[in-house]
């Protein structure tokens, strides 16, 4: 069964990220706002990957002078998802 959730970004042009995960595999990603072409690339490259690999690949990427980026926010959203899953499994 897939988990679908929306993450509200901070410090990026994109305002939200809609994410679908199934058994720790990214099934779908949609950025709301921001750079359409870059977001399509991030989404296409992430679909089918394990969420831990996506986090490893995207966490810490900055955008210009910003300390975060859309890829970094995606990684943070997945980290939050993992934390929430751990809370509900206890």
Which tens digits make up the pLDDT trace of 33-78? Answer: 999 999 999 999 999 999 999 999 999 999 999 999 999 999 999 9
**CATH code, domain with 35:** 3.90.1010
Expressed as residue numbers, the domain containing 85 is 3-89
Confidence at residue 90, expressed as pLDDT on a 0 to 100 scale: 66
- 8 Å CB contact between 50 and 28: no
Model confidence, pTM: 0.95
Residue 36 tokens read as 């359409």
Q: Is the pLDDT of residue 18 over 90?
A: yes
Give 43-70 as a DSSP string. Answer: HHHHTTSBHHHHHHHHTT--BTTBS--H
| Contact call for residues 32 and 16 (beta carbons, < 8 A) | yes
Q: Using CA atoms, how far apart are residues 37 and 32, in angstroms rounded to an integer?
A: 12
Total of domains in the chain: 1
**Band of pLDDT at residue 3, cut at 50, 70 and 90:** very high
């Amino acid at each position: 069964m897939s988990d679908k959730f929306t993450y509200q970004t901070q410090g990026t042009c994109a305002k939200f990220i809609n994410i679908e995960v199934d058994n720790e595999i990214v099934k779908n990603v949609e950025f709301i706002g921001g750079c359409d072409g870059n977001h399509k690339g991030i989404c296409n490259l992430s679909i089918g990957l394990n969420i831990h690999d996506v986090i490893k690949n995207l966490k810490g990427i900055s955008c210009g002078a910003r300390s975060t980026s859309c890829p970094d926010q995606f990684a943070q959203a997945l980290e939050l998802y993992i934390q929430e899953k751990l809370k509900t499994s206890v």
